[in-house]
Structure 1
Amino acid sequence: MASISEDVYNILRSEILDGTFVAGESLREEQLAGRYGTSRTPVREALRRLDAEGIVSVIRHRGARVLEWKPNELGEVFALRGQLESYAARIAASHISKDDIDLLTKLAGEMEEIAFSTSSEVVIDAITPLNNHFHSVIVASAGNGRLSEQLSSVIQVATVRNTFRRYNHEQLIRSMSHHRELIAAYMVKDGEWAESVMKSHIYSARAVLSVPPKVEEIAISDRRP
């Protein structure tokens, strides 16, 4: 049962991260159990863990819901992430391997190919996990376990989920160029350069999310695979 619970937790957490379940959406145990082909017990345990992490809100007799973030809360989270992840980007420059730089280059190329496609649904479905992977490689290369734990928790959930639904073409180009500049900084092991680019990258995303979504963007975010 422990392995099933862990699997359900990991899958559900990933689906919240990539926007499959959006902020404010109700999470019903019986529906999730059917989705994952399991009983309600591991689903209930997964929801409890996600509630403890601040990813979902579980209210007694009312069920669970994906946590919603108010604008001021997002601002606080972005400020914290800007400090922590830019620090991770700087110290990663001293440790990152050639293989990881090659992986970042591959991920950047895949994101660019998707970002400049003509299908907004493809962008929604595919860029976010690639972007999460790109950032996780950098954080892992920093070699700081506590920092990695902080950045993989609610900080990342609140700021990464659904960001690319809100980008226009110009904003996508800027985001992709930040990825390429980070790679360039790592190729010459320049931590200060990497730190400054990461701050710009994160605060650019904050600017995108600070603008209320348009009606058509809300409609897109409500679609399900």
Structure 2
Amino acid sequence: MSAKLRILLVATAAVALSACGTRNTGIESIHQPVVQRSDYAFDVAAADNGLTAEETDRLAGWMSSLRLGYGDRIAVDANTGANAAVRDTVSALAARYGLLVSDEVPYTAGQIAPGTARVVVSRMRASVPNCPDHSRVSGIEYEGNTNSNYGCAVNSNLASMIARPEDLVRGQPGAPTSDPAAAFKAIDTYRKAPSTGAGGLKAESTKGGN
């Protein structure tokens, strides 16, 4: 086999390999965080005055097994007259984890039996599918594609660090009002600070020492 033929075969193989794998010809990475929500439901027997001590202990054990934390949402769906009392008990248990009971109750499968209440915990998780992605061989790029792994590190770190994954889907609304004094405080402090070069340069001597 001649040298020219070998070079041609190697170049052809390189072009074929570069055409395989994930394509991304835009500026934005195609590897974006995906938010998934899971709902966990727990039915408890509700008396006229709320939950009994036994049901409260069962509910507390269930919450502990879920390892509730910041970002989880708790809601109460009850069709009994003791809805307010049940909500107060659930609120007290949720307060142990620094959580509040939400007014919005997500849809869950199955009907709630008479005389029972359903406690629903909604949990969201963010992840970046198909990362890391080394499906595209690095080399000469004839179609303007970025590396197949482009964006995996940044977006995976963002998905891991965000406290409320739902904020990636719908951000938090801003405050309807603002305090001009608070906004001006940082600017005023910066303006009143003395300049770092106001005192001149410090004189150093090369004399002395060993």
Determine which structure has the larger helix proportion and give its number: 1
Decide which structure has the larger Cα Rg and report it: 2
**Relative contact order: is structure 1 or structure 2 higher (C-alpha 8 Å, sep ≥ 6)?**
2
Normalising by structure 2, we get a TM-score of 0.24
> Which protein is richer in strand relative to its size?
2
Query: TM-score normalised to the size of structure 1?
Result: 0.23
